[in-house]
Amino acid sequence: MLLSQGINQRLINVQATKYTKMRLMLSLIVFFYSVSLFGQPEKARYFSLHEGLSSQRVLDVAHDKNGFVWIATELGLNRFASNSFKQYYKSENADALSVNSNEINTLYYDNDQLYIGTRANGLNVLDMKTNRFSYYLHDPNDRQSIATNDITDIIKGKSGKLWLATYHQGVQRFDPIKKQFEHFNRDNTPSLPENSIWTLAEDEHGLLYIGHVSKGISIFNTNDRNVELLDVQSTKGMLPDNEVKALFCDSKNNIWIGTRRGLAVYNPLKRTMQRISLASKAKNAVEPFVYAIKEIEGDIWIGTESSQLFILKPDYSTDRDIKQIRTIIPFNLNRGNNSSVQNIDLDNFGNVWLGIYGGGIAFLGHLKPFFSVFPTPEKMPGLDKLATVTGILHDNKLRGIF
């Protein structure tokens, strides 16, 4: 009788030990799964008014070499570091200590200079070494000043000079050494279809792609000022719409095009365009307004209206053309139908930052998952929660835990 009781007690102890180990292992799985999610936007961390951001209406995000995150909003410039925000609001005296406008459209960082494109107060430049601002505004008596004070985009050209898109006076080329502007608009380049421009991109050959507010895309050769127009009519409908909000040149020299009515991609070598449909993955099953495009680790990230994000995995042919889109993964960021992903940026540590108009900032950490979770959402669409785990087995040959 005593022997039987001893055996039973040992069995109970063994079972209790196994149960304790299983609980510990499950706890570790949950822990690592929760802290190391990368590329899963539904697990993003958000920053908004509660965390100190000056406005939910974010239009652009940039990063400097010191790790600071700079955020353009409709209510001032923000700098994020060490989990806190510093705001720069309009200085009435233009005293070089802050921006001269609260309405900021675009940012570009280069060589210790933060270039700040405002909606109506020209170009501001913050010198990181001195922490002082410079202001460049239109001067009707100076032909080498900026042609207008409304700036919608800033990129750096292969020449080292900056290209600025404006809403009223075409394209400006800024020499950061001479502090002078060159103007390219319908006054001196009549082949441009209009002066109103949303976005710019430059390809590997130095051709400038100009996204117009209502006239499609101009491909501008700055050497001979030749302009080729791509619009809905000339592309036979391959360009979804003539309002072009986003342009991006990928690592294969394809030009990705975001419009009011969806996405397209242009191959400069073949001079062909194809539409990329997102409607089947979109919330309302229609082609979304595309605001932002970025290539990250070979994938193409697309930011759109209604706080939607799409990650595309393209396959390329030998001539670097898009052969097919293998996978389109949609994400609903749940910031509301009136919010839009305006900017996608990658910092020096591999973290992804999303600027959301109406939704603040979203942060996606760079750490990749230590564990795989089964079933995945792709294999079990519509699954609201993970299945209950009742046991774990360690496989010595496969070196895995199941």
- In tens, the pLDDT along 165-183 reads 999 999 999 999 999 999 9
Number of domains into which the chain is organized = 2
* Per-residue confidence (pLDDT) for residue 394, from 0 to 100: 62
| Residues 379, 254 share a domain | no
Residue 117 resides in a domain: yes
Residue with tokens 């400069």: 268
| Residues 387, 246 share a domain | no
When mean pLDDT is compared across 287-301, 334-348, 365-379, the lowest value belongs to: 365-379
Residue 44 binned pLDDT confidence (cut-offs 50, 70, 90): confident
- What kind and span of H or E run contains 347? none
Nearest to 283 by CA among 264, 304, 259, 308: 308
* Per-residue confidence (pLDDT) for residue 12, from 0 to 100: 46
| Residues 387, 293 share a domain | no
Write phi, then psi, for 31 (nearest 5 degrees): -65, -55
- What kind and span of H or E run contains 290? strand 290-296
DSSP secondary structure letters along 217-249? EEEEETTTTEEEEE-TTTTTT-S--S-EEEEEE
Q: Three-state DSSP class for 12?
A: helix
Asked if 110 contacts 100 with a C-beta cutoff of 8 angstroms, the reply is no
Nearest to 186 by CA among 169, 198, 174, 199: 169
Q: Could you tell me where the beta strands, DSSP code E, fall in 99-170?
A: 104-110, 113-118, 123-127, 132-136, 151-156, 162-166
What does the DSSP 8-state code read for residue 304? E
| Residues 391, 366 share a domain | no
Residue 276 resides in a domain: yes
- What kind and span of H or E run contains 46? strand 45-47
**Span 53-99, pLDDT tens digits:** 999 999 999 999 999 999 999 999 999 998 899 999 998 888 999 99
| Residues 64, 180 share a domain | yes
Asked if residue 206 has pLDDT above 60, the reply is: yes
Q: What angle do CA 229, 176, 147 make, to 5 degrees?
A: 50
Asked if residue 377 has pLDDT above 60, the reply is: no
| Residues 394, 331 share a domain | no
| Residues 204, 332 share a domain | yes
Asked if 134 contacts 125 with a C-beta cutoff of 8 angstroms, the reply is yes
| Residues 78, 59 share a domain | yes
* Per-residue confidence (pLDDT) for residue 130, from 0 to 100: 97
| Residues of the domain holding 116 | 42-373
Burial classification of residue 20, based on how many CB atoms lie within 10 Å of its CB (0-12 exposed, 13-18 middle, 19 or more buried): exposed
Asked if residue 378 has pLDDT above 50, the reply is: no
| Residues 184, 138 share a domain | yes
Asked if 149 contacts 160 with a C-beta cutoff of 8 angstroms, the reply is no
Asked if 345 contacts 108 with a C-beta cutoff of 8 angstroms, the reply is no
Copy the structure tokens of residue 271.
Answer: 């001079």
Mean pLDDT of 306-314: 96
User: Under 8 Å CB-to-CB from 203, ≥6 apart: which residues?
Assistant: 209, 249, 253, 255, 268
| Residues 383, 244 share a domain | no
Residue 99 resides in a domain: yes
Residue 6 resides in a domain: no
Asked if 96 contacts 134 with a C-beta cutoff of 8 angstroms, the reply is yes
* Per-residue confidence (pLDDT) for residue 319, from 0 to 100: 83
In whole angstroms, give the CA distance from residue 290 to residue 301. Answer: 11
| Residues 255, 145 share a domain | yes
Average pLDDT score over the chain = 87
Q: Three-state DSSP class for 315?
A: strand
Residue 2 resides in a domain: no
Residue 5 resides in a domain: no
Residue 71 resides in a domain: yes
* Per-residue confidence (pLDDT) for residue 34, from 0 to 100: 36
* Per-residue confidence (pLDDT) for residue 251, from 0 to 100: 96
Residue 386 binned pLDDT confidence (cut-offs 50, 70, 90): low
What does the DSSP 8-state code read for residue 162? E
Residue 126 resides in a domain: yes
- What kind and span of H or E run contains 353? strand 352-357
| Residues 292, 258 share a domain | yes
Q: Which CATH number goes with the domain that contains 50? A: 2.130.10.10
In whole angstroms, give the CA distance from residue 84 to residue 360. Answer: 14
SS (H, E, C) 68-109: CEEEEECCEEEEEECCEEEEECCCCCCCCCCCCCCCEEEEEE
In whole angstroms, give the CA distance from residue 197 to residue 7. Answer: 83
